[in-house]
Amino acid sequence: MTGIQWLASAMLSAKAKLEISTDNLANASTDGFRRHVATTSANEHGLSTVGTASAEQAAVRFTGRTLDLAIVGNGSFSVAPRRDAPLRVATRSGQFMCDRDGYVVDAQGRTLVGKRGFVRLTPDAGPVEADGAWRSGGRVVAQLELPKGSTVRSGFLESSNVNSIDEMIGVIDAQRAFETAQKTLSAIDEARSKAANDLGRIK
């Protein structure tokens, strides 16, 4: 590939890194948000950058609300935007409440889904236990699906795992990389234009 094509790919790569870092910054205070890590690689098409979600556990903070839930370990909560559709969304944000019918829903109205379907609690159900089960009179009335080794804590929320200082540095680095590639590209283009003009005058 030509130098111009390579530099163009470098600019696109820097732009992707910038977008990843700014999105992380925008979600620095979003509960359960997992930052995306930018990885840059080189191939026959130049440079490319992709973002992958970090698996790093964020800090959990005490809220005291029974239906504020935090997963310690891997896994996520499964929520359904609608109860009459099969779509499920994974989220680490565990701020829930009960609607008037007893279903556990989040702030967007999405219903929490467990091993037995939609989580619906009876008035006498206790708080969720570490294994993800709600019990009433010793009987399991709802159960979250958790990976082996993971637990859930009631009365806690997981914070975002974004480090704002690191992301600000990432933004600055991406901007500098973009500007460097852009200036180099302009210099090459100017040199080529000058060479073409000089060649025309010689002829």
What are 154-189's pLDDT values in tens digits?
999 999 999 999 999 999 999 999 899 888 888 886
Higher pLDDT, 186 or 130: 130
- Count up the domains in the chain and report the number: 2
Residues 21 and 111 in one domain: no
Residues 64 and 145 in one domain: yes
Number of residues that make up the chain: 203
What type of residue sits at position 22? T
In terms of Cα–Cα distance, which of 60, 54, 5, 65 is closest to 170?
54
Phi-psi region of 29 (alpha: psi -120 to 50; beta: other; left: phi over 0): alpha
Domain carrying residue 9: 3-56+162-202
Residues 76 and 122 in one domain: yes
The pLDDT of residue 188 is: 82
Q: What is the pLDDT of residues 92-122, one digit of tens each?
A: 999 999 999 999 999 999 999 999 999 999 8
Nearest-angstrom CA–CA distance, 76 and 35: 15
Phi-psi region of 198 (alpha: psi -120 to 50; beta: other; left: phi over 0): alpha
Tokens of 180: 């460097």
Residues 64 and 42 in one domain: no
